[in-house]
Structure 1
Amino acid sequence: MDDNLDTIGGTLARAEERMRSGRHAAERLWPTGFSDLDAIIGGGLRSGGLALLAGPHGLGKTTFAVQICRNVVRTGRPVLYFSYEHEADDISQKLLAMEAGELDATGRSRLTTIREAFEGDDVGSIEQRLDAIPSAVQALSTVRAYAELMFVHRSTGSRTDLAAIRAHIDRVRALTGSVPLVVVDYLQKVLVPGGPADENERSTTVVEGLKDLAIDIAAPVLAIVAAEKEALQSGTRMRMHHLRGSSALAYEADVVLVLNNKVDIVARHHLMYDLGNTERFREWAILGIEKNRFGRDGIELEYKKRFDQGRFEPEGRTVTEQLIDDRVFLE
């Protein structure tokens, strides 16, 4: 029987029960841990909402998504990460680097050294391998405290479709007693069985399915998305209309976030009159809030890259420099 039929009276009664119990806001909002972003998008990702994250290759889309996941599981809520490009080992090492980076006042903890410790030939426990890396053993203890809430599914474009995604969500809910934050990395690789050959049409099918899924499970879905090739090659700032299947993506998504390198999109006069700005701007990524159904959009925040530690600095700030759509290339 179809159980989707409801009355507004029933909806209001359930909302009042949540409000009286104090569960309303806590259930609906999933803070990202990036406080400036949360303030703009209404307190965090929302249950039933679909958020998209885009940006050029190598600018930290996965890093940003994993950092959100880490911030969510630290609050005691589960996360299910569908990874079409990265092994679970890669994500676990990134989490260790994030934690160690925040703990290490010397700045000597590095993602590369953590990876070397895991991949080396030395015989011993993880703690023994990490002992020489500042704060890494303490970081391991921190990660272990929430590790059982962070689920990673090694997804493939030949097997993992929307039905598989839904089935694993149900499995995590059964294991934890809670619905998880769902992350898909990335949208264009989700299998569409018997689907159209055209990639834009497949992307439309997937984004519509993910939106329906978010509503059905009453939890947020965050999907990383790819851009059209010309957006990566033409020297233009990546915007929402550059995304593959852009009309459907823009329509279905509740929040669209786009990362860009600050040095590539800041107006030339900021570079010409202070040559030191060039190197400083290279350290920052611009996060544009291109769409936001829950508040303001057209806002640019900037976050300092700490890719040596597999993370962004969590404290962002509003961009004060003039930005342009044509990238600035310097010799």
Structure 2
Amino acid sequence: MDHQLMTVGASLARSDERMLTGRNAAGRVWKTGFVGLDPLIGGGMRAGSLVLLAGPQGLGKSTFALQVARNNAATGRPVLYFSYEHDAEDLTQKLIAMEAGELDDSDQVRVTTIRSIFDDLWVSSLEHRLESVPSGVEALTKVSQYSEMLFVHRSTGTRTDLDAIQNAIEAVRELSGTTPLVIVDYLQKVKSMHEDEEASTTQIVEGLKDLAIDINAPVLAIAAAEKEALRSGKRMRANDLRGSSALAYEADVVLVLNNKFDIVARHHLTYDLGNAERFREYAVLTIEKNRFGRDGAVLQFRTRFDQGRFVPTGTEVKEQLIDERVFRE
């Protein structure tokens, strides 16, 4: 029988077997690890789903995705991270900073410090170098515990197409014995046969959606925004994704990050000037589309980009938010 064909009876039998053996919903859901978000999207990222993460430049999309990768690898589940902009050592430095930042009560850990330790010319082991960083050695130990479950693919826009992504997934399957969570950073950089951006984006997003279904695991892809959506004071929405309407159509979940300062109503700034600096420290995450629950939900997460991370506990946004704020003198 064609492997793409399955009767409902066979599907029922497989579901029944999964439930009888205890391989129920938990095996089909990959949690993001961001408190408050997972319950809103069906418990986490579901098998066969395409999740898009978008937002203006510099708002931590890669940081968010890497934190999701780390959260899953730390539970013993393999993760395959396709990185089109950063090499494995750069991501490793961010992971150590992330772990140290969470462990250190003195609040002295910085990504820049970790990077300087990697770049320093003096001869010594990494563990010895990290002794000078608060909680540095403990952070290295934590990263080491899940390091063999987090696979980084150094991807390029000239070589890494959908076939290359599929081949890498199969390689990780063989090495780890199970299907990985797939993260693509980022979607518009995946090599395509089309020169036209709209046609290229459509091909890639449809291909990633098919891939998620075929491997029965989630694909989390970062999506770039149109230039118009990047200007300060404008709230980025799902229709600001760059390249094709297929992005929002094909995705099962669309998450959009915005800086809180840029999208709160002006009166929150006018009557309390101290709010401006506080709001700049938070990213607002909107669930723009959600096939597994209600969309439109809004959470805020404190950003600690100096430590390469978000504070993972999301809280409700109480202030009024707007789509675009226009200041008049």
Could you tell me the TM-score, scaled by structure 1's length?
A: 0.97
Distance 2:179 2:222 in 1: 20
- Structure 1 equivalent of residue 312 of structure 2: 314
Please tell me whether residue 258 in structure 1 is matched to residue 256 in structure 2.
yes
Extract structure 1 runs of 4+ deviating beyond 3 A.
Answer: 327-331
Distance 1:238 1:246 in 2: 15
Displacement of 1:233 in angstroms is 3.3
Query: Helix, strand or coil: the match of 1:138?
Result: helix
Alignment match of 2:206 (pick from 205, 208, 214):
208
Is the CA contact 1:48–1:215 (under 8 Å) kept in the aligned structure 2?
Answer: yes
Distance 2:273 2:328 in 1: 11
Is the CA contact 1:264–1:328 (under 8 Å) kept in the aligned structure 2?
Answer: no
Q: Over aligned residue pairs, what C-alpha RMSD do you find?
A: 1.3
- Structure 1 equivalent of residue 289 of structure 2: 291
Displacement of 1:235 in angstroms is 4.3
- Structure 2 equivalent of residue 107 of structure 1: 107
Alignment of 1:225-236 (within 5 A): 225-233=223-231, 235-236=233-234
- Structure 2 equivalent of residue 280 of structure 1: 278
Q: Which amino acid aligns with 2:21?
A: S
Q: Which amino acid aligns with 2:251?
A: A
Please tell me whether residue 324 in structure 1 is matched to residue 322 in structure 2.
yes
Displacement of 1:330 in angstroms is 10
Q: Deviations over 1:232-282 (max 9, x none)?
A: 137421100010134101110000000000000000001111111011001
- Structure 2 equivalent of residue 74 of structure 1: 74
- Structure 2 equivalent of residue 197 of structure 1: 195
Q: Deviations over 1:51-73 (max 9, x none)?
A: 00000110000000000000000
Query: Helix, strand or coil: the match of 2:234?
Result: coil
Q: Which amino acid aligns with 1:212?
A: D
- Structure 2 equivalent of residue 116 of structure 1: 116
Distance 2:19 2:243 in 1: 39
Q: Which amino acid aligns with 1:58?
A: G
Q: Deviations over 1:13-36 (max 9, x none)?
A: 110111112211121110110120
Please tell me whether residue 97 in structure 1 is matched to residue 104 in structure 2.
no
Distance 1:328 1:260 in 2: 16
Alignment of 1:1-331 (within 5 A): 2-192=2-192, 195-233=193-231, 235-327=233-325
Distance 2:2 2:23 in 1: 27
Distance 2:216 2:24 in 1: 13
165 and 31 in structure 1: CA distance in 2 versus 1, 3 angstrom threshold = same
Distance 2:174 2:311 in 1: 34
Distance 1:113 1:55 in 2: 27
Q: Which amino acid aligns with 1:267?
A: A
Is the CA contact 2:32–2:44 (under 8 Å) kept in the aligned structure 1?
Answer: yes
Is the CA contact 1:265–1:328 (under 8 Å) kept in the aligned structure 2?
Answer: no
Distance 2:327 2:281 in 1: 16
Select between 319-328 and 29-38 the one with higher mean Cα deviation: 319-328
Distance 1:282 1:312 in 2: 13
Is the CA contact 2:233–2:263 (under 8 Å) kept in the aligned structure 1?
Answer: no
Distance 1:21 1:276 in 2: 56
Distance 2:285 2:258 in 1: 7
Is the CA contact 1:186–1:226 (under 8 Å) kept in the aligned structure 2?
Answer: yes
Q: How many residue pairs were aligned?
A: 329
Distance 1:330 1:40 in 2: 37
Query: Helix, strand or coil: the match of 1:80?
Result: strand
